[in-house]
Amino acid sequence: MVKHTATSVVTIERYIIEQERLYPDAPGELSGLLYDIALAAKMIANKVRMAGLADIIGATENENVQGEIQQKLDVLANDMIIKALDHSGRLCAMASEEEPDIIQIPDNFRCGKYCLLFDPLDGSSNIDVNVPVGTIFSVVLKITRGARGEMEDMLQPGRRQVAAGYVIYGSSTMMVYTTGQGVHGFTLDPQIGEFLLSHPNIRIPERGRYLSVNDSYEQVWEEDVRALMRRYRGLDGVRDPMSVRYVGSLVADFHRNLLGGGLFAYPANEKNPRGKLRLLYEANPLAFIVEQAGGLASNGSIRILDVEPTELHQRTPLFIGSKSDVMMADRMLAAPVLAEQA
Ligand code: AHG
Ligand code: MN
Ligand code: MN
């Protein structure tokens, strides 16, 4: 890693270029792709900042504009990412939480060798109450032979990701990403419109302070999940109690736990037997990041990055964060037969 002094001004562009020089075998196209994503993030941040003003602006401006401004923000974010990336020549296809099928690159643009999978606006139900939302992305290499991306390219296990990241639109806007050489965070300086390196080489504490879980599902959890949550909260006397923090935006909950240590859990329940969160757009990219930062991610029985996807919008239970806290979930949720063998 290139060392920077406290006074260095390192834009995301400079950082990406320096990383590229350090790893000459790494394809330059990936750097370009990350830079395009950073551009899309700035455009989305700009819209998110205006969220509460959409009605006011609509009333004072040309009525024709109103419909566009009031378009739901997750649709806007989805369109912005597609438009910022479809012509770059770096992607062979995309997949989004907001689109039922694979998004093909238009015929008039060149296809590249990467696939981008994304959740354009995570936690969007929080927009109306001014709570942080985010964008999550995952990049994999195309494995099929044709020019265009196919379903097989999208359905690769998370361990094959070559890059992943998220953007959090919070009290400031931050972009955090990994290409497999640690996790790096950049904060958007709104005055100059640049992401600046603010959190080099992020490491998640081994053991967490915070537990992020929606425990209103307690009634519909399996008994082993209930016992696990009691343990995290110190109710069975085995460990010190964790403090509960739940925003309801995965990106915000994950980001806090990544920096301060903690565990985010969204277990399966009676109503959502496969969990709620999406493997390809949410669990996989955050799992790649957390492992690069020294943490873990599991579905309760195996590592998230080893789950073999079978469908685009596949859901998964998720336990992600500080290593020892995720290991506790694996131990307590392991099928009895596995536990006996251990
Ligand atoms: P999205 O807004 O992309 O659909 O994701 C919402 C997700 C995630 O951000 C959050 O952790 C979770 O939904 C909250 O679900 P509950 O309201 O069931 O706790
Ligand atoms: Mn989401
Ligand atoms: Mn979403």
Q: CATH number, domain at 324?
A: 3.40.190.80
**Residue 4: what pLDDT?**
67
Distance CA 342, CA 335 (A): 11
**Residue 125: what pLDDT?**
86
**Residue 18: what pLDDT?**
85
Shared domain check, 276 and 153: no
**Residue 56: what pLDDT?**
58
What's the whole-model pTM score? Answer: 0.93
Shared domain check, 261 and 236: yes
Pocket flag, ligand 1, residue 123 (CB < 6 Å): yes
Task: Burial-class residue 175 by CB neighbours within 10 Å (0-12, 13-18, 19+).
Answer: buried
Quick check: is 117 in a domain? yes
Quick check: is 2 in a domain? no
**Residue 105: what pLDDT?**
97
Q: What tens digit of pLDDT does each residue of 150-174 get?
A: 999 999 999 999 999 999 999 999 9
Quick check: is 273 in a domain? yes
Check residue 300 and give left, alpha or beta (phi > 0: left; psi -120 to 50: alpha): left
Shared domain check, 251 and 124: no
Shared domain check, 217 and 190: no
Shared domain check, 321 and 236: yes
Report which bound ligand comes closest to the CA of 278: 2
Task: Tell how far the Cα of 270 is from the centroid of ligand 3, in angstroms.
Answer: 23
DSSP 8-state secondary structure symbol assigned to residue 11: B
* Closest approach atom of ligand 1 to CA 126: 2
Quick check: is 205 in a domain? no
Q: What tens digit of pLDDT does each residue of 27-77 get?
A: 678 889 999 999 999 999 999 998 877 665 555 444 444 444 456 888 999
Shared domain check, 114 and 242: no
Quick check: is 245 in a domain? yes
* Closest approach atom of ligand 1 to CA 253: 11
Distance CA 208, CA 243 (A): 9
The DSSP-derived string for 283-333 is: IHHHHHHHHHTT-EEESSSSBGGG----STT-EE-EEEESHHHHHHHHHHH
Domain count, the chain: 2
**Residue 340: what pLDDT?**
43
SS3 32: helix
Shared domain check, 226 and 164: no
Quick check: is 1 in a domain? no
CATH classification of the domain holding 139: 3.30.540.10
Query: Which parts of the chain have pLDDT scores under 70?
Result: 1-7, 24-27, 54-71, 335-342
Task: Tell how far the Cα of 255 is from the centroid of ligand 2, in angstroms.
Answer: 14
Determine the structural domain holding residue 258 and report its residue range: 210-341
Shared domain check, 186 and 216: no
**Residue 60: what pLDDT?**
47
Which of 199, 220, 249 finishes a domain? 199
Shared domain check, 289 and 149: no
Which of 135, 165, 199 finishes a domain? 199
Quick check: is 16 in a domain? yes
Which of 199, 234, 261 finishes a domain? 199
Sequence letter at residue 51: A
Quick check: is 253 in a domain? yes
User: With contact defined as beta carbons under 8 Å apart, do 136 and 251 qualify?
Assistant: yes
- In our burial notation (b when 16+ CB lie closer than 10 A, e otherwise), range 10-30 reads bbbebbbeebbeeeeebbeeb
Shared domain check, 262 and 221: yes
Query: Largest Cα–Cα distance in the chain?
Result: 69
Shared domain check, 166 and 291: no
Pocket flag, ligand 1, residue 173 (CB < 6 Å): no
Task: Tell how far the Cα of 54 is from the centroid of ligand 1, in angstroms.
Answer: 23
* Closest approach atom of ligand 1 to CA 122: 3
Shared domain check, 285 and 221: yes
Q: Name residue, tokens 């750097």.
A: 31
**Residue 339: what pLDDT?**
42
